[in-house]
Structure 1
Amino acid sequence: MALSRRNVLAMGLFGTASVVLPTAAQSRGAAAGPLGHLGLDAGQLGLRPGAAEDQSRQLQAALKQAAARGAPLLLPPGRYRIGGVALPENARIVGVPGETHLVTASGQPLLIARNIGRAALTGLSFDGLDIPAAQRSGLLMAENVGEIAISGCAFAKAGSVGLTLDRCGGRVTASRFRDMRDAALFAIDSKGLTVEQNRVEDCGNNGIQIWRSQPGDDGSIVRGNHVMRIRTDSGGSGQNGNGISVFRAGGVIIEGNQLRDCALSFIRNNSGSGVQILGNQGRRCGEVALYSEFAFEGAIIANNHVEDCASGASMTNLDQGGRMAVCANNIIRKATRKAVPYSKEPTGGYGIHVEAEAAVTGNVIEDASDIGIALGWSWGMRNLAATGNVIRKTGIGISVSLVPKERNALIANNVISEARDGAVIGTEYGKPVTGDLTKAPDARASGIVVANNAVR
């Protein structure tokens, strides 16, 4: 068979499909089009690149035929106006990355996968034309899909969300999301979803959202993504403005992501238990860089590097059941009290804040305008340890809340340098009430053990 330029390009991109498909197609009597050795060529099934009319009907028919034959549907380069096309069981669509464009015909979702076991999309570009859409409506919407695989795709100018996944498992990898009115990816009630090595830019409210309708184990992995320029167009005090947002989703691992310029947090975990935030890097955010808040039990924030934020890391809300945390081996620089988008009152200025059953160890904190490490707030202070940290250039090195009548905290073996308002200070409601506890004990600080700190 003579090979066209398109054959060669397709084999280079999708050569793995050619191993079994010729026999399968030939055994069913399929006509061999220009791409027949890889799957069914949509151009041979009635789709016309660049056509002005809506081609949803033609694409739907082509998908049905490809699924019946057990073959991928191959979309040649060009623009295809579509909307509301349903993916059949085991649908596979293969395009040419950067060249195969699916453009909304009516502002509705372009593709919909619902109640199927498996689907795979590769090399497609989705364009929503910035037409406003219903909240959490995606350019691609999947509901109750056992395993959906999306790789090498691009999502742009969504009227709400680029990709919406409801009760889905699978992988979203090596794809690009840009210019979303709301969020790049919204996943709810996932079944072991992996979101890996994607690029997210210029979203109105959030970057990647991993949520659950009720608290529970989620098991998603969010790894190696680049997330940049996330705004907070819809306002609020935390539900928007986050690079990666976790809500009620337990057992999530957020690892090795690069985050820049987020209106509120780089990574925000609200009420997700057993969430691990590991080895991420972030620069420039408007509130707490790494946040575990409200009704979480068990959180690890470790080995991250964040700079230019209002606050570095917070593991808080004992009043809502937020407890059990490890904050270890992070580098936090330039945490400066500032006005946040939802309030004119300045907030933050601390490196790390914890409240209950928490170990803070091995962190390096530099240039925190107010406090290096804040142990507790008001009565929210229980069973805390700050050991082996290095703190330099802060207001107070380590503060500890003395509001609770019964206290238990260990502050030991830290290196504290250039803390202008004292190395270790007891506070009540944020106000200092003791002298420097590394210099002399204070009866008001009963239950607080301060030992072997190096202070300069």
Structure 2
Amino acid sequence: MVHSRRSVLAMGLFGTASAVLPAHAQSRAPAATPLGHLGLDASQLGLRPGATEDQSRQFQTALKQAAARGAPLLLPPGRYRVGGIMLPENARIIGVPGETHLVTADGRPVLIARNLGRAELTGLNFDGLDIPSAQRSGLLTAENVGELIISSCAFAKAGSVGLTLDRCGGRVTTSRFRDMRDAALFAIDSKGLTVEQNRIEDCGNNGIQIWRNQPGDDGSIVRGNHVMRIRTDSGGDGQNGNGINVFRAGGVIVEGNQIRDCALTFIRNNSGSGVQILGNQGRRCGEVGLFSEFAFEGAILANNHLEDCAVGACITNLDHGGRIAVCANNIIRNATRRVAPFSKEAGGGFGIQVEAEAAVTGNVIENASEVGIVLGWSWAMRNLAATGNVISKTGIGISVSVVPKERNALVANNVIAEARNGAVIGTEYGKPVTGDLTKAPDAKASGIMVANNAVR
């Protein structure tokens, strides 16, 4: 009889490996010993797949036995009603992806990891049964874990959050999150966390949240995730409705994510310095596609493709110290003035908006209903450059705030086509107050250098 590698591994994991062993080897195998080098079979340690009763006590006992032997705990396919299980040091639990279900027994977190050096979970499905739970309570809750490895798991119907991480490092990869009342993943004060190649769907308020209690270097990487259909059930003016949300966390890289249908924003950075937002694709959001706001210093928004937003990219809040940015090589299409979910008045219609110490270069903007690039707003306009951009089919090509008494801005070498209200216009509080500065200088726009733009 010929067996594939996959079939041998599957049988070895869950107690059917005897089918491929010689008879004399079968007779010598004790029932509750490790299954070769793979781990301990939980069904031989008191857990019963599909049992209707709460098996938390049996699960906890099995985990302790596996940890004492330094072996993974292997969970066969089936449903296990459990809650409040504490993971021991170096816990390793292995299930069958899509088949091993850990169902909350009473609305509490299913698993809890606290003050551990390392833990690893693979192939587990967590089900919260949509039972309401405390804010930011996760189906899996981890606190102060040096290296937490979560792969090929699934989180569904959380009463608040699927996965809550507090002061954790490690990786969350190739997992699926769906139908969360609040968010898929909430991480605070992380230690170099990686969130990669996960699928997130249908969350009430946010997708992925990378936060810190105080501003500081975080170093997390959020890469290659699919995030879809994020609502804003709890309302607010920006704290909800985001596909990926960075708050106070510095040095975060958000790269190569596919994001669709967010109530407010694809990616929002609030007060995170040194954040890079690179190579993401977003389609359909109710407010700003990419947002870097409030007390940040140093943001790079580059190589992103954004469509169907109120504003493509907004880098703002000089009033809170928001400054220093590069917005480069993005494609932004169909930025349309609209009413955001939290507002009663229509706004937006801008491709890109910046305020202080910012270079806007190499972007392609098409169909911005009001303005292609907005340089400054009111007095918040300082040291800005818009160079080498291609802007077409918009109201104003590039607007420059002329409210500040001291101005310093460069608008050069851009291609501007079909800007029905002028190629480069000086504005006060969003209202045009100069003629087209590509045609003639205007005393109101002193300090604004406009040169070598191709206008059609």
Q: Which residue of 2 aligns with 1:194?
A: 194
Q: Which residue of 1 aligns with 2:262?
A: 262
Q: Which residue of 2 aligns with 1:453?
A: 453
CA distance in 1, matches of 2:37, 2:253: 40
**1:10 CA drift (Å):** 2.6
What does 1:385-396 correspond to in 2, within 5 Å? Answer: 385-396=385-396
CA distance in 1, matches of 2:6, 2:32: 14
Deviation readout 1:27-63 (Å, 9 max, x if unpaired): xx98556945410000000000000110000010011
CA distance in 2, matches of 1:348, 1:210: 26
Deviation readout 1:160-201 (Å, 9 max, x if unpaired): 000000000000000000000000000000000000000000
Q: Which residue of 2 aligns with 1:355?
A: 355
Deviation readout 1:296-343 (Å, 9 max, x if unpaired): 000000000000000100000000000000000000000000000111
In structure 2, the residue corresponding to 1:58 is in which secondary structure? helix
Q: Which residue of 1 aligns with 2:20?
A: none
CA distance in 1, matches of 2:380, 2:10: 60
In structure 2, the residue corresponding to 1:57 is in which secondary structure? helix
8 A contact 1:7–1:34 mirrored in 2 = no
TM-score with structure 2 setting the length: 0.94
**How many positions carry a matched residue from both structures?**
441
Q: Which amino acid aligns with 2:242?
A: N
Task: Give the direction of change, closer, same or farther, for the CA distance of 1:63–1:426 in structure 2 (3 Å limit).
Answer: same
Q: Which residue of 2 aligns with 1:293?
A: 293
Task: Give the direction of change, closer, same or farther, for the CA distance of 1:395–1:149 in structure 2 (3 Å limit).
Answer: same
8 A contact 2:13–2:74 mirrored in 1 = no
In structure 2, the residue corresponding to 1:326 is in which secondary structure? strand
In structure 2, the residue corresponding to 1:266 is in which secondary structure? strand
Q: Which residue of 2 aligns with 1:40?
A: 40
Q: Which residue of 2 aligns with 1:135?
A: 135
Deviation readout 1:218-276 (Å, 9 max, x if unpaired): 00000000000000000000000000000000000000000000000000000000000
Q: Which residue of 2 aligns with 1:159?
A: 159
What does 1:159-308 correspond to in 2, within 5 Å? Answer: 159-308=159-308
Q: Which amino acid aligns with 2:249?
A: A
CA distance in 1, matches of 2:13, 2:299: 41
8 A contact 1:4–1:34 mirrored in 2 = no
CA distance in 2, matches of 1:12, 1:327: 53
Give percent identity, aligned residues only: 86
Moved over 3 A (4+): 2-7, 11-14, 29-37
CA distance in 2, matches of 1:352, 1:35: 59
CA distance in 1, matches of 2:451, 2:143: 56
Task: Give the direction of change, closer, same or farther, for the CA distance of 1:257–1:417 in structure 2 (3 Å limit).
Answer: same
Q: Which residue of 2 aligns with 1:316?
A: 316
Q: Which residue of 1 aligns with 2:21?
A: none
Q: Which amino acid aligns with 2:270?
A: N
8 A contact 2:98–2:124 mirrored in 1 = yes
Q: Which residue of 2 aligns with 1:406?
A: 406
Q: Which amino acid aligns with 1:344?
A: K
Q: Which residue of 2 aligns with 1:22?
A: none
Task: Give the direction of change, closer, same or farther, for the CA distance of 1:318–1:351 in structure 2 (3 Å limit).
Answer: same
Q: Which amino acid aligns with 1:405?
A: K
Q: Which residue of 2 aligns with 1:87?
A: 87
**1:420 CA drift (Å):** 0.3
Task: Give the direction of change, closer, same or farther, for the CA distance of 1:324–1:259 in structure 2 (3 Å limit).
Answer: same
CA distance in 2, matches of 1:285, 1:438: 33
**Any gaps of 5 or more consecutive residues in structure 2?**
15-28
CA distance in 1, matches of 2:13, 2:137: 31
Task: Give the direction of change, closer, same or farther, for the CA distance of 1:445–1:5 in structure 2 (3 Å limit).
Answer: closer
Q: Which residue of 2 aligns with 1:379?
A: 379
In structure 2, the residue corresponding to 1:179 is in which secondary structure? strand
Q: Which amino acid aligns with 2:291?
A: Y
Q: Which residue of 2 aligns with 1:443?
A: 443
Q: Which amino acid aligns with 1:424?
A: V
In structure 2, the residue corresponding to 1:165 is in which secondary structure? strand
Q: Which amino acid aligns with 1:187?
A: A
Deviation readout 1:401-442 (Å, 9 max, x if unpaired): 000000000000000000000000000000000000000000
In structure 1, the residue corresponding to 2:113 is in which secondary structure? strand
Q: Which residue of 2 aligns with 1:432?
A: 432
CA distance in 1, matches of 2:189, 2:34: 41
**1:344 CA drift (Å):** 1.3
Q: Which amino acid aligns with 1:389?
A: N
Q: Which amino acid aligns with 1:411?
A: V
What CA RMSD, in Å, does the superposition of the two structures yield over aligned residues?
1.8
**Any gaps of 5 or more consecutive residues in structure 1?**
15-28
